[in-house]
């Protein structure tokens, strides 16, 4: 189908983008890479009056080294994240997760910032960003604020980005020398994760986050505490579903997802630890 008619602007600066958004208010939608938004518009699940396309704002794209942190512009594509030497060295689990998003054509267009703000619970970028303790930089009329990943995801398709605000960058503390693994389970190639697990580890320490085990990405705190207390990978992974409320749908019911989370957590921890 063809989307309903809308006005379109493609500002070339962040300031212009913020004023375009402020002007349009509720009726505007922000276009990142468009790989989730355009299907939604085509199916007429949403009919915004105005589209603000961020793809002509050069400052929102690219990956840079900022001391102890790497900074990824919100409009950087999944393909660029997956290939980046900086990301592979300092945040390997994010590069791996980005390389599993959908298919190559989608990864050439889809953006890290767009995927995070879309906040589909089955999306693959939330869990690694959460496991890596990233900060999300959001800019609005009132200036810039940095939101910890743990406070960014609020519910299904809902984030802490307020009206008139834009996610501009993702700041990731370097995890140089840490092991990382993203274990994802799908029944059909290039589909959304039924469940996936991001693990980042070093001696006696693990950070683990879950994809599609609730309405937002979740930290598997029980697994992390168990590893810190010296539990085996097998015993720690058995706690992966503790405190979660996974959805039931055509791909699997809640109990099945809870089981998958333990299996995938075991695999992710073992691989991240080099086993």
Interface ranges with other proteins (CB under 8 A): 1-8, 10, 31, 34-35, 38-39, 41-43, 51, 53, 55, 79, 102-106, 108-109, 189-190
Which is closer to other proteins, CB of 42 or CB of 146? 42
Minimum CB distance to other proteins, residue 207 (Å): 28
Q: Residue 140 is encoded by which pair of tokens?
A: 């609005």
C-alpha–C-alpha distance, residues 202 and 177, integer Å: 8
State the nearest-atom distance from the C-beta of 139 to other proteins, in Å: 23
Closer residue to other proteins, CB minimum distance, 77 or 211 = 77
C-beta separation of 195 from 257 below 8 A: yes
Nearer to other proteins, 107 or 175 (CB): 107
Closest CA to 110 of 39, 35, 166: 35
Query: In the bound complex, what is the minimum distance in angstroms from residue 47's beta carbon to other proteins?
Result: 10
Q: How far is the CB of 102 from other proteins (least distance, A)?
A: 7
Nearer Cβ to other proteins (110/179): 110
74 neighbors 32 (Cβ within 8 angstroms): yes
Close Cβ partners of 21 (under 8 Å, ≥ 6 residues apart): 28, 30, 52, 164, 166
Q: How is residue 187 annotated by DSSP?
A: S
């Amino acid at each position: 189908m063809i989307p309903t008619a809308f006005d379109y602007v493609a500002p070339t600066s962040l300031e212009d983008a913020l004023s375009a958004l402020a002007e349009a208010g509720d009726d505007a939608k922000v276009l990142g890479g468009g790989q989730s938004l355009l299907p939604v518009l085509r199916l007429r699940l949403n009919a915004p009056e105005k589209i603000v396309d961020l793809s002509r704002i050069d400052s929102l794209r690219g990956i840079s080294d900022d001391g102890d942190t790497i900074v990824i512009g919100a409009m950087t594509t999944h393909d660029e994240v997956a290939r980046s030497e900086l990301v592979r060295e300092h945040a390997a689990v994010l590069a791996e997760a980005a390389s599993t998003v959908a298919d190559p054509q989608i990864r050439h267009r889809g953006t890290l910032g767009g995927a995070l703000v879309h906040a589909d619970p089955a999306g693959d970028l939330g869990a690694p960003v959460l496991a890596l303790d990233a900060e999300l930089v959001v800019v609005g009329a009132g200036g810039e604020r940095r939101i910890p990943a743990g406070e960014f995801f609020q519910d299904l398709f809902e984030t802490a980005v307020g009206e008139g605000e834009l996610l501009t960058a993702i700041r990731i503390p370097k995890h140089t020398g840490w092991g990382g693994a993203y274990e994802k389970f799908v029944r059909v190639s290039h589909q959304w994760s039924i469940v996936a697990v991001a693990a980042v580890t070093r001696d006696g320490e693990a950070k683990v986050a879950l994809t599609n085990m609730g309405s937002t990405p979740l930290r598997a705190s029980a697994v992390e505490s168990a590893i810190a207390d010296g539990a085996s990978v097998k015993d720690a992974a058995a706690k992966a579903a503790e405190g979660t409320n996974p959805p039931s749908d055509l791909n699997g019911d809640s109990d099945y997802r809870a089981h998958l989370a333990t299996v995938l957590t075991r695999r992710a921890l073992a691989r991240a630890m080099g086993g």
